[in-house]
Amino acid sequence: MHKLLILIEPSIDWQTFEDLWPDFLHLAESMPGLRREATSRIDTTLFGSYPVTFIHELYFDSLDDASQALSSPEGRSAGKLLQEMTQGRVNLFFADHKEDAVENLLKYKKSTQLDD
């Protein structure tokens, strides 16, 4: 699975961003191949100085699917609106995404405890 990470810097006009956010979501959620999405508002920075206050993630089956989605009319419109909403204070990344279920993590923890 691959995801597009959208990292928003804190120094944007938040009123404009909030006003246009539903329009952006409508466009982004219309992109072909989108499997799911997640939004995070950063409330505390524990370490580092990278200025991010908002993260939105769009998940796709593959990097090719993600690239095609961004090239679609909906993807291009969403990208244009995102630039407008953030005045260009945005960073975009593709990431190879892996995750595991808690049940599997607990199985691993139990098996390592038995080995001790």
Give the chain's mean pLDDT: 92
Nearest to 56 by CA among 33, 84, 87, 22: 22
Instruction: Tell me the whole-structure pTM to 2 decimals.
Output: 0.85
Alpha carbon of residue 16 to chain centroid: 20
Tell me the three-class secondary structure of 43-75, residue by residue.
CCCCCCCCCCCEEEEEEECCHHHHHHHHHCHHH
CA dihedral over 26, 32, 38, 40, signed as positive or negative = negative
The count of structural domains within the chain is: 1
Q: What CATH code is carried by the domain that includes residue 91?
A: 3.30.70.100
Alpha carbon of residue 60 to chain centroid: 11
Its domain, for residue 66, covers 2-115
Helical packing angle, 73-86 and 14-29, nearest 10°? 170
The predicted pLDDT at position 105 comes to 78
In tens, the pLDDT along 53-97 reads 999 999 999 999 999 999 999 999 999 999 999 999 999 999 999
